[in-house]
Amino acid sequence: ESGKKNISLIVVGHVDAGKSTLMGRLLYDIGELSEKEKTANERGSKKIGKGSFAFAWGLDALGDERDRGVTIDIATTHFTTPHRNYTLLDAPGHRDFIPAMISGAAQADVALMVVDGSPGEFEAGFERGGQTREHAWLVRSLGVKEIIVGINKMDLVSWSQDRYEEIVEALKPFLLSAGFASAKTTFMPLAAMEGINILENDVEELKEWYNGPTLISALDKVEVPPRPYESPLRIPVSNVFKGQTAIASGVAVSGRLCSGVVQVGDRLRAVPGDEVATVRTIEVDEDSSPYAVSGQNVTLYLSGIDSINLSIGTILCPTSLPVPLVSKFTTQILVFDLQSPIIIGTSVELFHHSVNLPATVSRLVNVLEKGQVTKKNPRVLQKGMTATIEITLRSTSNNNARIPIETSQQNKEMGRVLIRRNGETIAAGEYYLYLRSSIR
Ligand code: GDP
């Protein structure tokens, strides 16, 4: 029903925490999977040595994309709760989950973090090397403000309240330090495989001490973040394909509106480049629509443009207000866990929406504490620091080392970047034209 609010969800957590099982089970319990799909999924799951439901989500999402023959960047699945329309971003099974997660999280409104509650397993996922911390940092740095934490496999700890509270007490201070306000953090016990506390909690041992929300009721209450309708349209492209559906055909792109509004007939500039395309058809949640607004995931069928002028990472903008291209910029960063410090000349990979480009840390401008500059021109940056640095893109054979990016003052979602090195995320940042300390 159209009055429902649209929300995008990303599911994160350490490998084997039960993410696919949980989402497969949720889709089944709310009737988004047929009995036939369920049987096929059970068979598929057995084949890959996983419990029932584990296969459902990945299979479902990938099947859809496979049929269209597209470059997979982010797969999406739709489901509805009584008051919300959900877009579930991404599919599991990526070998290196993080880059896919980065593009997914940049589009998400809320994160569902799944942790394994069974003995020793929560600890393994939370220590160094485990993915729990990095995922939480990542999603928060990419602008996700609300998090639901499912403490899964409660059946394996006999529904123990002590174990549940032990995990909640370990996670609470960490999530707070990662930037999730306690009012935006919800914890709940789950048993994904048996479907406990997804739609309802019908286990006596659990009912004795837990009367908080089920997963569905928590999802149904997620606040819809303010959507910047007034800002100029920005659609970072996450897929390009030759579309052929019941609704339309031709060159098609999908992505999420970071800001603004798009209507059928609009002429859009594809940045980088000078090409202009006309919007023929807009699909929102697989239905045709005359327009789409900030926050919605769309597929656009375009005319007047060749698909070679579009790629993952292209930003579609109004012809009159294109996003600028920059090769060098200053960014205020938060430094994550590091193997070795950041110094001038450090080679990094810069992630911005769905693109990643080689870059170099060309200046260390300052270190800040609580918004105040405490040191100018530092020589090294260490874990936990907030700092201003300058990033310079490096030219490669297939790009001219410029990135479509806006300052965070102009457009929050367009100003966010992530910095990785050797497959690890080392910092998250926001692009500021004027250094924060000089604004005051
Ligand atoms: P993912 O890597 O996070 O997607 O994890 P999976 O969904 O593949 O689950 C990992 C393993 O944990 C599988 O063997 C599941 O059957 C199992 N599992 C998931 N949820 C539960 C649960 O609630 N209870 C128990 N006992 N096992 C579960």
Provide the pLDDT confidence category of residue 70 given band limits of 50, 70 and 90.
Answer: very low
pLDDT for 173 beyond 70: yes
Please determine, for residue 213, whether its predicted confidence score (pLDDT) is greater than 50. Answer: yes
Say which residue, 247 or 326, is predicted with more confidence. 326
Q: Hey, whose CA ends up nearest to atom 2 of ligand 1?
A: 16
Residue 68 and residue 62: Cα distance in Å, rounded?
Answer: 10
Contact indicator for 8, 142 with CB cutoff of 8 Å: no
Q: Pocket around ligand 1: residues whose beta carbon is below 6 Å from it?
A: 13, 15-21, 50-51, 54, 92, 152-153, 155-156, 191-193
What confidence tier does 439 reach under pLDDT thresholds 50, 70, 90? very low
Tens digit of each residue's pLDDT (9 = 90 or more) over 373-385:
899 999 999 988 8
- pLDDT at site 69: 34
Please tell me the distance between residue 144's alpha carbon and the centre of ligand 1 in angstroms.
25
Q: How many CB atoms lie within 10 A of CB 33?
A: 22
Quick one: average pLDDT of 75-86? 83
Question: Which residue shows structure tokens 């193997």?
Answer: 339
- In the predicted model, what is the mean pLDDT of residues 389-415? 84
**Which residue owns the Cα nearest ligand 1 atom 24?**
153
Cα distance between residue 123 and residue 134, in whole Å: 14
pTM for the predicted model, two decimal places: 0.71
- In this predicted structure, what is the pLDDT of residue 4? 79
On whether the CB atoms of residues 297 and 333 are closer than 8 A, the answer is no
* Residue 91 in tokens: 């599919």
Amino acid at 64: D
More confidently predicted of 420 and 41:
420
pLDDT at residue 326 tops 70: yes
Task: Give the nearest ligand 1 atom to 196 CA.
Answer: 23
pLDDT at 101: 64
Tell whether omega for the bond before 213 is within 30 degrees of 0, i.e. cis: no
- Percent of the chain at pLDDT above 90? 46
Q: What whole-number distance in Å separates Cα of residue 38 and Cα of residue 44? A: 10
Q: What spacing in Å lies between the alpha carbon of 140 and ligand 1's midpoint?
A: 25
pLDDT (average), residues 60-77? 46
Q: What are 49's two structure tokens?
A: 């040595």
CA separation (Å) from 92 to 20, 22, 73, 82, 254?
Answer: 7, 12, 12, 26, 19
What is the Å distance from ligand 1's center to 145 Cα?
26
Per this entry, what is the length of the chain? 440
Residue 93 has pLDDT above 50, yes or no: no
Could you tell me the two tokens for 171? 């996670």
Point out which residues pair with 64 in neighbouring strands.
Answer: none
Q: How confident is the model at residue 253 (pLDDT cuts 50, 70, 90)?
A: very high
Q: Work out whether strand 347-352 and strand 291-293 pair parallel, antiparallel, or are unpaired.
A: unpaired
CA 320 – CA 164 distance, rounded (Å): 54
Q: If you take atom 18 of ligand 1, which residue's CA is the nearest one? A: 18
Distance CA 278, CA 381 (A): 46
Gap from CA of 163 to ligand 1 centroid (Å): 18
User: Given this model, what pLDDT does residue 348 score?
Assistant: 96
What is the arithmetic mean of pLDDT over 381-401?
Answer: 84
Contact 116, 152 (CB under 8 A): yes
Bridge-partner residues for 234, per DSSP? 259
